[in-house]
Amino acid sequence: MEVITDVLKHYKFSLSVLLILLFLNVSKHQSKYYKDIQSLLDGLKTVKPLSGDFHIHRFSDTPASWVKETSIFRSDTYSIILLTKGQAKYKIGLSEYHITEGSIYFQAPQHLRYYNRLSEWQGYVIVFMDSFFEDHPTLKKLITGFDGFKITSKVVVPLEEEILIETQKMFQHLYEISYSKSVHRFDKAKSLLELILLQGTEHYNFLYQNQKETKQNRIVKAFEHIVEEHLYDITQNKVEKIIGVAEIAERINVNATYMGEVLKKATGKTPKEILSDRIVLEARSLLTNTDMAINEIGYFLKFQDASNFTKFFKQKTGVSPSEYRV
């Protein structure tokens, strides 16, 4: 019989909870999750978008009101950011990065994001929606197949000086075309974005795919991928209950005890602790970025009731959900 971990004691889903979710109409509260380019740029207090499905700007174009440090947030947008000057602390899910000048980094709709500008930035930001590449098969294949957009892959690529100069020229060309008066500017933008992604894929693969990966590393990566994908599916109302550690081990096709030993050695945490930390991160994002009531958030994250959610959150953070939200 499957061993039920402590974290699963907090998660029981029933028909009654489903009815409550339907009654509360939780989906309406997700509007503060940035569903499009307009809401993302408004939320970050930056510039106005070029269009509904594609945008590019330079950091030098942004107003003084631009957010220096974000809360944890999601966006249904893809982003490619070239940082030519400056530094930032950046987080995707539970993975943290220190981004320095001369880097290009990637964001996708499944990524739970956070950044903190440690110094003033120079460079470019490209933002686009699925709709921008749907009618462009080659570009669509590049985007959907690119590891940098995957849910748990590395998202930052440091560039050597020569490559940085070449990449900067490509971004500048895309910027100039996008703000031109050409009636075909967005068609040209798709072709230029394709070139940028071809180059990005080449350097990404050289940097990461040539690295030897041990069995233990594959287990850690697979565990993180399943957890991230599952939490994203929860936010999209695609699952009915939280996944268990034993189920994750079964999906990876490894013994649960062995998986726990590998994760503990690699991360210093047990599978249960990693899963709990990731749930807390999602809860913090919902508390910060939505107007959902605390009991709604609990049901949304598949807790049996609000008291279980409050107890779980306080055990992990030291404060109650209501105290965190203040």
**High-pLDDT (> 70) share of the chain, %:** 89
- Higher-confidence residue of 305 and 171: namely 171
Instruction: Supply the pLDDT for residue 238.
Output: 87
What sign does the dihedral 161-162-163-166 (CA atoms) show?
positive
Mean pLDDT throughout 145-164?
89
Inform me whether the pLDDT recorded for 26 exceeds 50.
no
Instruction: Supply the pLDDT for residue 211.
Output: 63
- Higher-confidence residue of 19 and 325: namely 325
The Cα–Cα gap between 139 and 145 comes to 10
pLDDT in tens, 221-255: 889 889 988 988 888 888 888 999 999 999 999 99
Instruction: Supply the pLDDT for residue 272.
Output: 94
Inform me whether the pLDDT recorded for 8 exceeds 50.
no
Instruction: Supply the pLDDT for residue 28.
Output: 39
Multiple choice CATH, 37-209, 1.10.3720.10, 3.10.20.600, 2.60.40.10, 2.60.120.280: 2.60.120.280
Inform me whether the pLDDT recorded for 164 exceeds 60.
yes
Instruction: Supply the pLDDT for residue 65.
Output: 80
Q: What ranges do the domains of the chain cover?
A: 6-30+214-325, 37-209
- Whether the Cβ atoms of residue 159 and residue 103 lie closer than 8 Å to each other: yes
Q: What is the mean pLDDT of the chain?
A: 86
Q: Taking the domain 6-30+214-325, which CATH number applies?
A: 1.10.10.60
292 pLDDT tier (thresholds 50, 70, 90): confident
With both helix axes pointing from N to C terminus, report the angle between 215-235 and 245-252 in degrees, rounded to the nearest 10: 130
Inform me whether the pLDDT recorded for 165 exceeds 50.
yes
250 Rama sector, left if φ>0, alpha if ψ -120 to 50, beta otherwise: alpha
212 pLDDT tier (thresholds 50, 70, 90): low
